[in-house]
């Protein structure tokens, strides 16, 4: 007999059809007029052990008829029934699948059993009973089997009934076929039953309450004992780091401290007592059976409300007595599991986290912190849980991952980029993932200036180049800030310009009114050329983009056959932006001239400017800087060498950018638009001061910065007078 968790009683009469439907869907139980079920008794701690078989409901209109138990380990179920016998009210009308009792009804109990027996009183059966002595058996009804319950035939070691019971079992298999078990008709003294009813029912309901209701908390608030809150600040030595900061008010906090060897990242969330954990398990189990994925079909802004409505419904069905604080805590964990990222939800909401890495099961997750660099966390996945989570992320992103295709790139629901591997097919420890966090409010050029990634003069130079439709490549290593730079430069593109971006996974967030975002798509099956049917690659998207008459084409990462088409587009006058992995101009040339790009040097020379980003370690901290900003002047026709001009260079000693004093691109703009270089330099200085004013006024949010830049372009003279 499987152990089943006893749940709160309720009266069917008071419930709507919606609750009835939930009962049948979630609890998967039904009671028919002549059915019964055995439920194990709670342990010494007053709690019934949890089990996956689901809950059992009983009516709050019950009659406790008899309490029986046995120590016989091989008792015939027809002779004695173990547990408390409860008669359900006439109007219960629920059905229950009790096929698990069939073997015990037709066979024997293999070990000692204690529990509750619930049975429905047969209508009118009490009128057929004759009052007899407690130990006397009544005459059986037609087609009934009467167990011998006389004193002489009672088995040794069993407790004999004080009075007799009318009990009829009917077992229902999942295929719908009915099987009738033994029927026992035993008369009972109804007067004696009534005298015991109040006290026993009270005890039963009290026992049920103890099983499922969390113990009252001594503190009715979600308090954390972490000391004073602060904000992470760079420049603090690792050994002195001991900081706690807020992620989500009231529910999510982070504590980072040095443990003697390295920094440790600890997630602080509302604490749960043992009884609260058990109650939360019950609620989550109900959610799992209620097809909670339907909540995802609700409009995004209404999902939290739909989730709370479902939560309140389950609390009502189970009659859980929860304080407001407990409800808030339970809803937090439900929201995190079904609408967030479950165990790592806090990591995905921490604004200081750039990357989240899982190297396999039973190993801590690592995060790349904007202030403290790579830090180990206290979040650990078990193997099965990790496999399920990886598949869930892939499916939520509309991608398929399997043993056949165990590696997958995906864009998560919040816009973050993920690289996933499944099982031990390609990663020895097991499933892994790396998530590049997506910022809903992207980094603005003012943010980059505050981080000292660029200074105001460099940003003003970028502003001019973008406004005059120069082509830009952001080069560098992994996590050097290439995409962030490109995204920040998007604010300098005039609002009337049409932009088309093409990416493998959606990373750009330009917030531009005239922007078309395109992403690649994986195909289905295999192809003779190695390309699956339905594959849409960067090359395909780039060809389509050229037909849309864009002022700017933005390529997320240039790395394949699309490079030739991109540089051809640049050479015929289409301004483009893109990122590429390279640390210097020589490395860049080697990459584009080799497989799979195969771009001729004279075609590459059509690029106007390359920004070389890098992540530099200074002491215990990492900084992002542009080592140099190089203008591509021309190709030497005689020697075939690329002539370049490093217009800006970063000085590592002073941590400042140095302007070379001349710009080849200023000469190009002069030839094309008739603007003198001195005028362009003066305009660059004016824009640099304007950006400094924005930073001084605390205008850092991307959209606010973009609006200010557009306003400057419209009202340049007036705005500069105001700034003085």
Q: What is the pLDDT of residues 568-609, one digit of tens each?
A: 999 888 999 999 999 999 999 999 999 999 999 999 999 999
Parallel, antiparallel, or unpaired: how do β-strands 417-421 and 432-436 relate? antiparallel
| Beta-strand runs (E) in 452-575 | 472-476, 499-503, 515-519, 552-555
Domains in the chain, CATH or no CATH each: 5-212 (no CATH), 274-436 (3.30.450.380), 445-723 (3.40.50.300)
What pLDDT, on a 0 to 100 scale, did the predictor assign at position 357? 97
Q: Cβ(393)–Cβ(408) under 8 Å?
A: no
Q: Looking up tokens 């004992």, which residue turns up? A: 225
> For residues 436 and 520, what is the distance between their CA atoms, to the nearest angstrom?
18
pLDDT digits 0-9 by tens, 61-77: 333 333 333 333 333 33
Backbone angles phi, psi at 452, to 5 degrees: 65, 20
Dig out the tokens for 450 from the structure: 């505050």
Strands (E), 348-498: 353-358, 364-369, 373-380, 407-411, 417-421, 432-436, 472-476
Q: How far apart are CA 553 and CA 24, in angstroms?
A: 55
Chain-centroid distance of CA 22 in Å reads 25
Q: Which of 715, 687, 233, 619 is nearest to 455 (CA)?
A: 687
Least confident range of 33-37, 267-271, 495-499: 33-37
Closest CA to 312 of 24, 59, 11, 19: 19
What's residue 225's pLDDT? Answer: 54
Residues 1 and 104 sit within 8 Å (Cβ to Cβ): yes
Model confidence at 520, in pLDDT bands (50, 70, 90)? confident
Helix runs in 350-480, H state only: 383-396, 445-450, 456-467
Distance CA 538, CA 500 (A): 12
- Of 162-166, 469-473, 561-565, 714-718, the one with minimum mean pLDDT is 162-166
Per the CB < 8 A criterion, the answer to whether 278 and 220 are in contact is no
Token readout for 513 is 């009114």
Q: What is the pLDDT of residue 22?
A: 42
Average pLDDT over residues 40-47: 40
Q: What is the pLDDT of residues 140-193, one digit of tens each?
A: 343 332 233 333 333 333 333 332 222 222 222 233 333 332 222 222 333 443
Which residues are within 8 A (CB) of 316 and not within 5 positions of it... i.e. 6 or more apart?
19
Contact yes or no for 267/254 (Cβ under 8 A) = yes
Mean per-residue pLDDT over the chain, rounded: 73
> Measuring CA to CA, how many Å separate 609 from each of 517, 612, 667?
24, 10, 14
Q: How far apart are CA 525 and CA 532, in angstroms?
A: 6
Report whether the peptide linkage leading into residue 596 is cis, meaning its omega lies within 30 degrees of zero. Answer: yes
Burial annotation 611-622 (CB, 10 A radius, 16+ → b, else e): bbbbeeeeeeeb
């Amino acid at each position: 007999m499987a152990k089943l968790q006893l749940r709160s009683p309720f009266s069917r009469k008071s419930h709507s059809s919606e609750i009835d439907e939930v009962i049948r869907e979630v609890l998967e139980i039904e009671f028919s007029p002549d059915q019964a079920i055995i439920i194990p008794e709670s342990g010494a701690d007053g709690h019934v052990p949890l089990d996956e078989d689901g809950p059992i409901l009983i009516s709050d209109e019950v009659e406790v008829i008899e309490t029986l138990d046995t120590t016989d380990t091989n008792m015939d179920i027809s002779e004695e029934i173990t547990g408390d016998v409860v008669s359900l009210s006439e109007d219960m009308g629920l059905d229950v699948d009790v096929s698990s009792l069939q073997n015990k009804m037709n066979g024997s109990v293999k070990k000692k059993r204690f529990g509750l027996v619930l049975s429905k009183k047969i209508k009118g059966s009490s009128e057929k009973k004759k009052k007899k002595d407690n130990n006397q058996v009544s005459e059986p009804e037609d087609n009934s089997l009467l167990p011998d319950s006389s004193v002489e035939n009672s088995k040794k070691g069993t407790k004999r009934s004080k009075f007799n019971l009318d009990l009829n079992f009917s077992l229902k298999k999942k295929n719908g076929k009915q099987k009738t078990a033994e029927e026992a008709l035993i008369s009972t003294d109804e007067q004696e039953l009534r005298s015991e009813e109040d006290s026993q029912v009270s005890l039963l309901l009290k026992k049920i309450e103890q099983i499922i209701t969390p113990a009252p908390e001594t503190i009715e608030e979600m308090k954390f004992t972490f000391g004073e809150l602060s904000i992470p600040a760079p420049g603090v030595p690792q050994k002195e780091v001991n900081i706690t900061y807020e992620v989500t008010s009231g529910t999510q906090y982070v504590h980072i401290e040095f443990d003697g060897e390295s920094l440790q990242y600890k997630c602080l969330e509302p604490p749960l007592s043992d009884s609260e954990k058990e109650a939360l398990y019950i609620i989550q189990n109900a959610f799992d059976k209620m097809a909670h994925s339907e909540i995802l079909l609700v409009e995004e802004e209404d999902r939290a409300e739909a989730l709370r409505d479902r939560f309140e419904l389950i609390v009502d069905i189970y009659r859980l007595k929860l304080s407001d604080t407990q409800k808030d805590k339970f809803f937090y964990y439900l929201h995190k599991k079904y609408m967030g990222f479950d165990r790592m939800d806090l990591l995905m909401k921490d604004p200081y986290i750039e990357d989240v890495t899982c190297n396999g099961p039973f190993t801590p997750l690592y995060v790349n912190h904007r202030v403290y660099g790579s830090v180990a966390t206290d979040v650990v996945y078990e193997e099965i849980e990790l496999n399920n989570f990886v598949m869930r992320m892939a499916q939520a992103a509309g991608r398929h991952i399997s043993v056949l295709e165990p590696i997958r790139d995906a864009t998560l629901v919040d816009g973050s980029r993920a690289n996933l591997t499944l099982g031990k097919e390609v990663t020895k420890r097991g499933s892994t993932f790396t998530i590049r966090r997506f910022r809903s409010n992207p980094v603005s050029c003012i943010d980059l200036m505050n981080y000292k990634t660029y200074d105001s003069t460099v940003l003003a130079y970028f502003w001019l180049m973008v406004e005059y439709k120069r082509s830009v490549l952001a080069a560098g290593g992994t996590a050097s800030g290439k995409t962030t730079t490109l995204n920040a430069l998007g604010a300098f593109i005039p609002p009337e310009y049409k932009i088309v971006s093409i990416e493998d996974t959606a990373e750009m967030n330009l917030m531009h009114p005239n922007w078309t975002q395109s992403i690649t798509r994986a195909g289905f099956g295999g192809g003779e050329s190695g390309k699956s049917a339905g594959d849409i690659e960067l090359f395909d998207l780039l060809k389509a983009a050229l037909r849309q008459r864009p002022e700017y084409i933005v390529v997320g990462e240039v790395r394949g056959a699309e490079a030739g088409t991109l540089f051809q587009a640049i050479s015929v006058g289409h301004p483009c932006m893109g990122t590429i992995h390279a640390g210097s101009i020589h490395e860049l040339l080697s990459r584009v001239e080799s497989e799979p790009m195969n771009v001729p040097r004279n075609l590459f020379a059509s690029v106007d400017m390359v920004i070389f980003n890098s992540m530099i370690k200074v002491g215990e901290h990492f900084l992002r800087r542009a080592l140099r900003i190089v203008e591509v002047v021309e190709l030497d026709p005689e020697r075939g060498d690329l002539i370049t001009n490093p217009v800006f260079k970063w000085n590592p000693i002073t941590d400042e950018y140095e302007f070379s004093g001349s710009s080849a691109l200023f000469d190009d703009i002069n030839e094309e638009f008739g603007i003198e270089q001195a005028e362009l330099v003066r305009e660059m200085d004016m824009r640099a001061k304007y950006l400094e004013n924005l930073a001084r006024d605390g205008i850092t949010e991307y959209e606010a910065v973009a609006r200010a830049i557009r306003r400057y372009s419209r009202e340049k003279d007036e705005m500069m007078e105001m700034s003085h």
